[in-house]
Structure 1
């Protein structure tokens, strides 16, 4: 998942991720993790981006926060799907037991 605002700003200024990292004074891996929303953005990061791109820091922080919310919701959905699979497997097992019990009683 990309922080599209960071990506667009970087590309509009014809900068590489490594160049932006250098300008922000952070390791390139940290910048990559910020842009891909693997690392939570701090107000310090937001201010540094504001200075670099002349865009208010709250836009960068808001975009990062929204990506965190999306990631959380995706994880909740994944967990619910796993739980539904387990419930369906239990129900199928119960149906098979019930069906076998009825067949043995009919015999």
Structure 2
């Protein structure tokens, strides 16, 4: 794990170590120890961190030289929003999930296309 890369990308995303630690479910001290290279992340935790920072896990591991940048039109917290939606979808009943989709479709009808192939994966 490239601890200097973790700190660099965190700062580029204007996130605090405490914010990252909360999202990872670890203490701030533990997270800062990771940034200093004193502790290692599990593979699962490394994937979560990469998702939070919007980079590929390989970049954090030092296997890639450049990070994958978000499109300029996307807000920095877009992955956090997707994570919240995904977590919600896993926690609610299929009936409640269907209600939520109906509400979203009604509220954002222009964003939903009847022929959208992604709807089959919900």
* CA radius of gyration, larger in: 1
Pairing 1:86-101 to 2, within 5 Å after superposition: none
- Alpha-carbon shift at residue 36 of structure 1 (Å): 0.5
Runs of 4+ in structure 1 deviating by more than 4 angstroms, as ranges, are none
Aligned residue in 2 for 1:26 = 26
- Alpha-carbon shift at residue 20 of structure 1 (Å): 1.0
Aligned residue in 1 for 2:43 = 43
Pairing 1:1-107 to 2, within 5 Å after superposition: 3-62=3-62
TM-score by length of 2: 0.45
Could you give the per-residue CA deviations for residues 50-85 of structure 1, whole angstroms, max 9, x where no partner exists?
21122111222347xxxxxxxxxxxxxxxxxxxxxx
SS in structure 1 at match of 2:38: coil
Between the aligned partners of 2:37 and 2:30, the Cα distance in structure 1 is 10
Query: Residues 6 and 60 of structure 1 are in contact (CA less than 8 Å); yes or no, is this contact kept in structure 2?
Result: yes
Between the aligned partners of 2:55 and 2:21, the Cα distance in structure 1 is 17
Query: Residues 43 and 57 of structure 1 are in contact (CA less than 8 Å); yes or no, is this contact kept in structure 2?
Result: no
Structure with more helix by fraction: 1
Query: Residues 46 and 58 of structure 1 are in contact (CA less than 8 Å); yes or no, is this contact kept in structure 2?
Result: no
Query: Residues 24 and 48 of structure 1 are in contact (CA less than 8 Å); yes or no, is this contact kept in structure 2?
Result: yes
Between the aligned partners of 2:30 and 2:44, the Cα distance in structure 1 is 13
Between the aligned partners of 1:42 and 1:61, the Cα distance in structure 2 is 12
- Alpha-carbon shift at residue 43 of structure 1 (Å): 0.6
Structure number with higher relative contact order (C-alpha < 8 Å, ≥ 6 residues apart): 1
RMSD: 1.8
